[in-house]
Structure 1
Amino acid sequence: MKTLVLVILLAITNFIAHSQEPKGVDITVQVNNLKNNNGFVLLGLHNQETFMNTETPALKRIQGKIIDGKIEVTFKNVSEGDYAIMVIHDENTNNRMDFTLNGMPKEAYGMSNNNMSFGPPMFEDAKFKVEKENLSLDIRL
């Protein structure tokens, strides 16, 4: 009987220990060059299917509070794979990017890898690989 109780206790302990293991990595993002503290910063974690796709939302979204022209936020438990992060300084707090009449962005934006070429952003330029280690990214707007 003692053996059975011991086996059950070991099984429960093993189950609890494994259920508390993290399922992914954390990605900490810093933006340090905001021109003012107006509004907030919207960050979206995307894969190739959701990147620049108005029909499909970001895999994860975070709204960051600006303090002294900076923010730091963390995407938690991100699975392995290729991702890109898009950042918008939403100064007027309408939860979207605003554009001029000729289609140019009114609000500052950026993306992972800080590759800001002319034309629409491309996933290949912004992608980074998530493996087993936590990541820290600095994104410029």
Structure 2
Amino acid sequence: MKHLAIVVMLTLLPFIIKAQDSTNTYTVDVKIANILNQKGHILIGLHNQDTFMKAKGIQNAKLKVEGDTVVATFPNLKAGTYAVMVLHDENDNNRMDFDPSGMPIESYGMSNNPMLFGPPTFNDAKFEVTNNNLDLTIRF
């Protein structure tokens, strides 16, 4: 009987440990560098694969531009895969503006700072939150 109790406990131990891990949350600090002017606001969205380029982020920030760098903090994140999108909304209309040929006229960026020749994908910008807080830098 004692052996059965030990076997049951050893079998359940990984599930108990995993359940405790799932309650941990982390913070991602996002620094936006190389802001070219003081106009408008910086709009930052933290996304998962379901919201990237489709909807408002799962967490969002709107920061006043003061200097050439701003920092946004996204707290209480569970371990997972995320991406950050950033827009310098110079005219405060809460959206990206385009020229007649369809090219963006306001500065933008995303996590991983990919060099793209078309619309970004989640895979271009994704990063993992595992068991540590993260500091990211996005350049315009």
Q: TM-score, normalised by structure 1?
A: 0.80
- Aligned AA for 2:122? F
Per-residue CA deviations over 1:112-131 (Å, capped at 9, x if unaligned) read 00002100001111000011
CA deviation after TM superposition for structure 1 residue 93, in Å: 0.7
Q: State the distance in 2 between where 1:57 and 1:67 align.
A: 24
**1:52 matched to which residue of 2?**
53
Summarize deviations over 1:60-112 as a string: whole Å, max 9, x none. 11012211111011011111110000000000011111111121111000000
Q: Given the alignment of the two structures, is residue 109 of structure 1 paired with residue 108 of structure 2, yes or no?
A: yes
SS in 2 for 1:138: strand
- SS of 1:45's equivalent? strand
Residue aligning to 1:138:
137
Residue matched to 1:74: 73
Q: After TM superposition, where is structure 1 displaced by more than 6 Å over at least 4 residues in a row?
A: none
Match of 1:43, as an amino acid?
A: I
In structure 2, stretches of 5+ residues that fail to align are 1-22
Aligned residues: CA RMSD: 1.2
What amino acid does structure 1 have at the position aligned with 2:71?
Answer: E
List gaps (5 residues or longer) in structure 1: 1-21
Q: Residue 110 of structure 1 contacts residue 116 of structure 1 at CA under 8 Å; is this kept in 2?
A: no
Alignment length (residue pairs): 118
TM-score (norm 2): 0.80
Preserved CA contact (<8 Å) 1:27 1:76: yes
Distance 1:23 1:89 in 2: 32
The alpha-carbon deviation at position 23 of structure 1 amounts to: 4.7
CA deviations 1:24-79 (Å, max 9, x no partner) are 111001112000111110000111111111xx321111012211111011011111
Distance 2:77 2:53 in 1: 20
1:138 CA displacement:
0.3
Query: What letter is aligned with 1:80?
Result: A
SS of 1:103's equivalent in the other structure is: coil
Which amino acid counterpart does residue 77 of structure 1 have in structure 2? N
Residue 3 of structure 2 corresponds to which residue in structure 1?
none
